[in-house]
């Protein structure tokens, strides 16, 4: 018997094509339903309310080590009337039903989920219910900023290959540059730098252009949140962190992969409208929604996230383990941690 061989490119094309009907079929969720989605807790239990194929589901967290709910038990909800549902569990020995009812605040956000006779309170993610995550900045911002600019990069971080930095705007013309750390909409509430463009290694930028071309076939473009970051900016970020939260960021003596110019933080925007796509979480959101395998949110959000991942991986990028938006081009361990200020980068 002859075995037909398929090239990796053909197999990948088939895999990517499968995303098209998935994304198009997963429609936007009505606002009144979307406002119920999120995390609820109480009675020593935690669960998500999510949307899947137009219906609400409960993803019950049964393992404390399952940080992204990817192994959660799923229970569909059958709608009875507005904010009232029935949860039905079918098993090999017995079946059970329980009434489910949601309570909302004055803005329409679900704040309580009652299952049977038990009440579970909503735990809002950053950005939900007017909740914004901020850290209390440590020290004097201007003094720390100047000290970081004058600090010396550890010798061990200066070893390895040096990236040839190029303009992402020039290398990927369709990309939208929306650098979040140039503004106050971050966990710090203040800018970390004032870069007017994003930069990355030329080889990685070429790969990013390939990813951009593939995404265009689906009607999406790349939204650039962060790219190359000089070492002194990473040091400033670490120095601004309060002592009890230092472990949230890499320490300056270790550097971070953004210093190599081989990483990128990206999302999607709609090519037709030019507007950012409603993704499964915001950038730098400190919550379980940031994890690549997070199973909550809406079906469309999950499909869009997975489409982005598939296209980026096809272009040679490796997704970070902690953040769905963070990608490195290959292995960055053999690359120098650069400290070139943005205004001194020469891309010609």
d(CA 111, CA 128): 11
DSSP string for residues in 154-186: PGGGG-SBPP-EEEHHHHSTT-EE--GGGSS-S
The Cα–Cα gap between 318 and 312 comes to 8
pLDDT digits (tens, 9 = 90+) for 248-268: 889 999 999 999 999 999 999
At residue 15, the pLDDT reads 52
141-344 sits in which CATH class?
Answer: alpha beta
Distance CA 177, CA 226 (A): 9
Q: Read off the tokens for 318.
A: 């490796």
Residue-wise pLDDT for 199-216, tens only, equals 999 999 999 999 999 999
What integer best gives the mean pLDDT of the chain? 90
Contact 122, 109 (CB under 8 A): yes
Task: Give per-residue pLDDT as tens, 162-195.
Answer: 999 999 999 999 999 999 999 988 889 999 999 9
- 73: CB partners within 8 A, 6+ apart: 59, 60, 62
Q: What are the residue boundaries of the structural domains of the chain, listed by start? A: 35-123, 141-344
What are the tens digits of pLDDT across the range 71-104?
999 999 999 999 999 998 776 665 678 999 999 9
The predicted pLDDT at position 247 comes to 87
Q: Alpha helix (H) ranges present in 64-222? A: 141-150, 168-171, 202-216
- 8 A C-beta contact, residue 62 and residue 73: yes
Give the pLDDT confidence score for residue 11 in this predicted structure.
45
Fold of 35-123: Lipocalin (2.40.128)
| Residue-wise pLDDT tens digits, 32-69 | 999 999 999 998 899 999 999 999 999 998 888 898 99
What pLDDT is recorded for position 208? 98
Q: Are 81 and 98 in contact (CB under 8 A)?
A: no
Closest alpha carbon to 208 in 56, 112, 118, 311: 311
pLDDT computed for residue 348 by the predictor: 60
Whether this prediction's pTM lies above 0.95 is answered by no
């Amino acid at each position: 018997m002859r075995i037909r061989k398929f090239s990796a490119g053909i197999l990948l094309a088939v895999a990517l094509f499968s995303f098209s009907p998935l994304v198009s079929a997963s429609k936007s969720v009505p606002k009144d339903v979307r406002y119920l989605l999120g995390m609820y807790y109480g009675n020593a239990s935690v669960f998500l309310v999510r949307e899947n194929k137009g219906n609400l589901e409960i993803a019950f967290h049964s393992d404390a080590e399952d940080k992204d709910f990817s192994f959660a038990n799923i229970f569909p909800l059958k709608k009875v009337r507005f904010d009232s549902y029935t949860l039905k569990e079918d098993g090999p020995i017995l079946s059970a039903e329980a009434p489910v009812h949601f309570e909302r605040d004055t803005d329409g956000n679900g704040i309580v989920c009652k299952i049977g006779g038990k009440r579970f309170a909503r735990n809002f993610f950053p950005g939900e219910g007017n909740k914004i995550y901020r850290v209390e900045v440590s020290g004097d911002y201007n003094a720390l900023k100047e000290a970081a600019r004058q600090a010396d990069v550890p010798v061990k971080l200066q070893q390895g290959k040096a990236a040839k930095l190029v303009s992402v705007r020039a290398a990927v013309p369709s990309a939208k540059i929306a650098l979040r750390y140039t503004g106050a909409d971050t966990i710090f509430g203040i800018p970390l730098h004032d870069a007017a463009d994003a930069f990355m290694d030329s080889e990685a930028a070429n790969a990013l252009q390939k990813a951009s071309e593939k995404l265009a076939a689906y009607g999406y473009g790349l939204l650039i949140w962060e790219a190359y970051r000089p070492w002194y900016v990473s040091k400033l970020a670490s120095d601004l962190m309060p002592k009890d939260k230092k472990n949230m960021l890499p320490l300056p003596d270790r550097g971070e992969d953004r210093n190599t110019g081989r990483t990128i933080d990206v999302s999607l925007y709609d090519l037709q409208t030019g507007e950012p796509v409603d993704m499964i979480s915001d950038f730098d959101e400190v919550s379980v929604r940031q994890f690549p395998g997070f199973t909550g949110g809406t079906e469309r959000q999950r499909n869009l996230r997975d489409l982005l991942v598939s296209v980026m991986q096809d272009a040679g990028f490796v997704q970070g383990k902690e953040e769905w938006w963070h990608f490195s081009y290959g292995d960055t361990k053999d690359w120098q941690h650069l400290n070139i200020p943005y205004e001194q980068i020469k891309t010609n």
